[in-house]
């Protein structure tokens, strides 16, 4: 990958010129199986997803609520392997040939998984598979320099997170250092669908916009079109996780095509809200 042509940067630059906000759905790799994960990603892209966040199942996830934890557990119960996730990413990226817009892939992965496989080996596989960046929630920014440098040599972006409790000036420093975009956690707590957007979040996004040019993407609890519409003038992207992943349990007892259709409708509704 050319370090100067990272797909995440290109995506946000293109959307910015059009005044559009990125829709970033989260998908657990291997829930209910890798083949269905690919179908889910196809449906999401067809219905307006701009980037796809791929969750690497892990037995002790950081900050993930019960919906995503359960999804990880289902995937691990079927012995999902990292090699299967690399193959899934390659299959998703192969779809780019049939579209006029590439869709970047971002991995959500525990540093424990990277360390266990070895940083160099993990990143080489990631590069070959077509990932453009990673979110590593259990690696503090202050301790991420080594991984970031290894990623930079491969043109990959290390995406940082900030919480509502992160002091503003520290959050701004992390934003300027973050690759690709900054993951802005909307609430204190774990992931999960919620009804309201905290008013303080809007003010915080405004303050960060004044202090950094890094794209700001909001996650944790974004689950409804009206929330997306409220946020669209204040951030560069929204990340939708639990509201989508909770549909995956239905694959065990409903026709796959019916569940995929509902996932497509949900994604489309979020896309329309952002484009209204």
* Active-site annotation holds for 229: no
Catalytic choice (9, 50, 53, 148): 53
* Active-site annotation holds for 53: yes
Catalytic choice (31, 64, 148, 236): 64
How would DSSP label each residue in the chain? --TT--HHHHHHHHHHHHT-PEEEEEEETTSS-HHHHHHHHHHHHHTT-SSEEEE---SS-SS--HHHHHHHHHHHHTT--HHHHHHHHHHHHHGGGGSSS---EEEE--HHHHHHH-HHHHHHHHHHHTEEEEE-TTS-GGG-HHHHHHHHTTT-EEE-EE-TTS-HHHHHHHHHH-SS-EEEE-SSS-----S---HHHHHHHHHHHHH--S-EEEESS--SHHHHHHHTTT-SEEEE-HHHHTTGGGGGTS-HHHHHHHHHHHHHHHHHHHH-
Residues annotated as part of the active site? 53, 64
């Amino acid at each position: 990958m050319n370090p100067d042509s990272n797909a995440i940067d290109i995506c946000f630059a293109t959307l910015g010129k059009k005044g559009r906000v990125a829709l970033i759905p989260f998908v657990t790799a291997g829930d209910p199986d890798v083949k269905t994960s690919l179908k889910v990603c196809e449906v999401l892209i067809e219905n307006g997803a701009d980037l796809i966040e791929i969750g690497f199942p892990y037995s002790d996830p950081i900050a993930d609520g019960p919906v995503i934890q359960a999804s990880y557990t289902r995937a691990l119960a079927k012995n999902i392997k990292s090699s299967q996730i690399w193959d899934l990413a390659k299959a998703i990226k192969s779809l780019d040939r049939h579209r006029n817009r590439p869709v970047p892939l971002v991995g959500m992965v525990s540093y424990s998984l990277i360390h266990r496989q070895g940083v160099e080996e993990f990143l080489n596989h990631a590069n070959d598979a077509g990932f453009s960046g990673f979110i590593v929630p259990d690696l503090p920014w202050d301790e991420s320099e080594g991984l970031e440098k290894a990623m930079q040599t491969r043109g990959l972006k290390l995406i940082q997170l900030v919480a509502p409790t992160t002091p503003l000036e520290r959050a701004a420093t992390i934003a300027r250092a973050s690759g690709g975009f900054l993951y802005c956690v909307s609430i204190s707590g774990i992931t999960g669908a919620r009804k309201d957007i905290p008013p303080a979040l809007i003010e915080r996004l405004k303050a960060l916009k004044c202090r950094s040019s890094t794209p700001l993407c909001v996650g944790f609890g974004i689950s409804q079109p009206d929330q997306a519409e409220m946020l669209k003038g204040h951030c560069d992207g929204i990340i939708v996780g639990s509201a989508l992943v909770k549909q995956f349990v239905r694959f065990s007892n409903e026709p796959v095509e019916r569940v995929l259709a509902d996932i497509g409708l949900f994604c489309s509704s979020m896309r329309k809200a952002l484009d209204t």
